[in-house]
Amino acid sequence: MLPRILKPILAAMLAAAALVAAPAANAAEITASDINPSAGTFTLVTDNELAIMAAADGTPAGAVQWYKNHMGSTGWQGYCEKAAENAYGTTGIWASANAHWNGASPKHTDGSRPPLGSFVYWNISAYGHVGIADGNGGIYASSIGGAIGHATSVNYFNNYRGWTPAARPHQ
Read off the amino acid at residue 30.
I
For residue 29, the model assigns a pLDDT of 75
Residue 22 has pLDDT above 70, yes or no: no
3-class DSSP assignment, residue 120: strand
Name the strands in the sheet holding 147-151, side by side, starting at the edge strand that comes first in the sequence: 42-43, 147-151, 139-144, 129-133, 119-122, 160-164
For residue 34, the model assigns a pLDDT of 81
pLDDT in tens, 48-93: 443 334 568 888 999 999 999 999 999 999 999 999 999 999 989 9
Residue 20 has pLDDT above 60, yes or no: no
Find out whether 141 and 132 touch, Cβ atoms under 8 Å: yes
Find out whether 106 and 114 touch, Cβ atoms under 8 Å: no
Q: Which CATH number fits domain 6-164: 3.30.420, 3.90.1720, 3.30.460, 2.60.120?
A: 3.90.1720
Average pLDDT over residues 104-128: 95
- Domain spans of the chain, in order of start: 6-164
Strands (E) across 24-117 are located at 42-43
DSSP state of 155: G
Going 134 to 80 to 142 to 47, the CA torsion angle's sign is positive
CA distances for 13 relative to 7, 20, 42, 72, 156, angstroms: 10, 11, 23, 13, 30
For residue 24, the model assigns a pLDDT of 46
3-class DSSP assignment, residue 143: strand
How far apart, in whole angstroms, are the C-alpha atoms of residue 96 and residue 87? Answer: 15
